[in-house]
Structure 1
C-alpha cells in the first residue's frame, strides 16, 4: 500500500487535488500525521466529508478489524497538516464523544452509504474524527483563557508591589495591611474559581476530544493542587500579618514562590490548550 499511496500523493499534488482512474470525482485530502511510534511525519490520502461546516474523516480502514495507522497517530499527537490540492493548512484532530460520534456517523452514511458497508464488515466501531482548521482569526475560549491569565498576572504584580511596600515600611502600615488582605482575598477567590472551572469543565472535555492531551491535562490538574496549597499558605500569612511582629520578608519569599509556580503554570496552559479550546469552543 505504501507504493500505491505514494503514487496517489504524487498525482494529487501534481494535479492540485484532482485524480483520475478509480479516484476520479472523489473528495480527497492528504493528511499528514506524526507517527505514534516512529515520531516521523507520514502522509495518507483520505476521503473526507463536509458536515455542518466541519471537515470529517472516518477511520474505516475499508472495514478492517484494525484502526488505520493515522488514527493511532492522532491519538498520540493531535496536530496534523491537511493538503486540499489548492492549499495547505494546519489543523488539530478531535475525537468526538459517543453521542456526538453517533450523530455524525449517521450523517456520514446518509452522504456516503459505503461507510455503512465498512461498519458491517467489522465488530469495531469506526472512529469518526473532526479536523479543526487552526485559524488565528478565530477567537474562542482559548483566547478568553489568555485574557484571564493576563488579568491574574496584573493582580500578582499589584500584590507583589504591596508586599514590597510592607518590607520597605512605605505608606501607612495599617491601611496597607487592610488593602493587601482585601486584594489577596479577591485574587485567591478568582484564581480558585478559574482553576475549578478548568478541572470540572474545560480539561475533561479536552481530554475526551484530544486523547493526546490527556497526560498534559493531568499534570496541569496536579499543578492546581500545589497552587491551592500555596494560596492557602499565602492567604494565612497575609490575613495573620501584624505590623512590627510578622516577618514581611518571609511573606515576600512565599509569595514569590507562588508567583513563579503560577507563571510556569500559565505558560504551560497557553502552550498546550489554547488552540484546542479555540477550535472546540469558538467565541
Structure 2
C-alpha cells in the first residue's frame, strides 16, 4: 500500500472514531473502549482551517492534558505544530465542550507529567521508547470568562488599538489637508494655528503613544503571556520583531514631518510614508487581536485606571 493510500486509510479510521464519539457522547468502542478520549480542534498552521482529531485525555492534579505521541512516530503530529502557531483550541470531552489555551510545559515539568501519565497509561511510555524525539505533553487551560465582566485585559487591548486607529486616521487627514491644499495654504491662520505646527505636534504625540504601547507589550504583557502560555512564544517573537520594524518606520515619518518645507518638499512623499505605516499598523493590530485577545482575557480583569 502506498503512503498516500495509508494516509487516506488513517483519515478514514480517524473520521470513524470522531463520528462514533459524537454519536455516543464521548464513548468509543473497539480498541479505545474504556479509554477517556477528547476531540481536539486546532487551527491549521498552513491552511488556517479547523482541524479535529481524537486524542487520549489525561488529568493530573485537576489539569487536562493531551500527549503528542503520534504512536511513537519520529515526528510530531500535525496538531502539535498547529498549536505552536495558534494556541487557541476547542476541546470536546463528550459531556462538555470548551475553548482552551494550549500550553507546553517546561522540560522539567513535562518530565514529571509524562512520568505520571506513563504510570497511568503504560502505552505512552512504550511510544517514547520507539522514538528519539521527546514526546510533548500539552496542558489545556479552559477559557471560562465571566459573561457579566466589565472589561478584561484583552478587551482593553482592543480598546487601546481602536484609540490608536482613530489617532492614526486623524493624522492621515491632517496630511491630506497639506497634500490636497484644502486649507488654501500653510501660513499661520488666525483661529486654527499653523497647519504644519499642528501636524508636527500631532505626529509626535501619536508616535509617542505608539512607542509607549509597544514598549509596554514588550516588557509587560508579552513576558507574562510567554510564561503562562509557552505555546504563544513564536507569535510573541513575531510581534516583537514587528515592533522594531514599526519603530524604524515611524522614526522616518517623524523626520519627514519635522523637515517638511512646503516650498521645497513634495507632500505626496509624506502621504506615501504615512500610508505605509498605516497599512502595517492595521495588519499588526488585527493580527495581535486575533492571536492574543483570548489569552489576555483568560488572565483576568483589566486594572481599574483612575
User: TM-score surpassing 0.5?
Assistant: yes
SS at match of 1:56: strand
Which residue does 1:209 correspond to in 2? Answer: 231
SS at match of 1:113: helix
Q: Assess if the C-alpha contact under 8 Å between 2:104 and 2:138 holds in 1.
A: yes
CA distance in 1, matches of 2:164, 2:123: 53
1:27 lines up with 2:56 in the alignment: no
In the alignment, structure 2 segments of 5+ residues that lack a partner are 1-8, 302-306
After superposition, residues 1-283 of structure 1 pair within 5 angstroms as 2=10, 8-19=17-28, 23=32, 26-33=35-42, 43-50=52-59, 54-61=63-70, 67-68=76-77, 70-75=79-84, 78=87, 80-89=89-98, 91=100, 93-98=102-107, 102-103=108-109, 105-107=111-113, 109-110=115-116, 113-114=119-120, 118-119=124-125, 121-122=128-129, 123-133=132-142, 137=147, 140-163=152-175, 167=181, 168=183, 169=185, 172=191, 174=193, 177-198=196-217, 202=222, 205=226, 209-210=231-232, 214=235, 218=238, 220=239, 223-240=242-259, 249-250=267-268, 251-279=270-298, 281-283=299-301
1:21 deviation in Å?
7.0
CA distance in 1, matches of 2:277, 2:121: 53
CA distance in 2, matches of 1:191, 1:256: 16
Q: Which shifted more, 41-50 or 108-117?
A: 108-117
Q: Assess if the C-alpha contact under 8 Å between 1:34 and 1:77 holds in 2.
A: yes
Residue-by-residue CA offset, 1:43-95 (whole Å, 9 max, x unaligned): 44322234566532122345666544543454466564432213445555343
CA distance in 1, matches of 2:16, 2:173: 64
The total of aligned residue pairs comes to 275
CA distance in 2, matches of 1:263, 1:40: 23
CA distance in 2, matches of 1:52, 1:144: 32
CA distance in 2, matches of 1:81, 1:140: 21
Which residue does 2:304 correspond to in 1? Answer: none
Structure 2 CA distance for partners of 1:57 and 1:237, relative to 1, 3 Å: same
Q: Which shifted more, 122-131 or 62-71?
A: 62-71
Q: Assess if the C-alpha contact under 8 Å between 1:60 and 1:119 holds in 2.
A: no
CA distance in 2, matches of 1:199, 1:176: 34
Calculate the aligned-residue CA RMSD, in Å: 4.5
TM-score w.r.t. structure 2 length? Answer: 0.64
CA distance in 2, matches of 1:72, 1:265: 22
1:208 deviation in Å?
5.1
CA distance in 2, matches of 1:234, 1:118: 56
Q: Assess if the C-alpha contact under 8 Å between 2:118 and 2:124 holds in 1.
A: no
TM-score w.r.t. structure 1 length? Answer: 0.68
CA distance in 2, matches of 1:265, 1:65: 36
Q: Which shifted more, 148-157 or 222-231?
A: 222-231
1:129 deviation in Å?
1.1
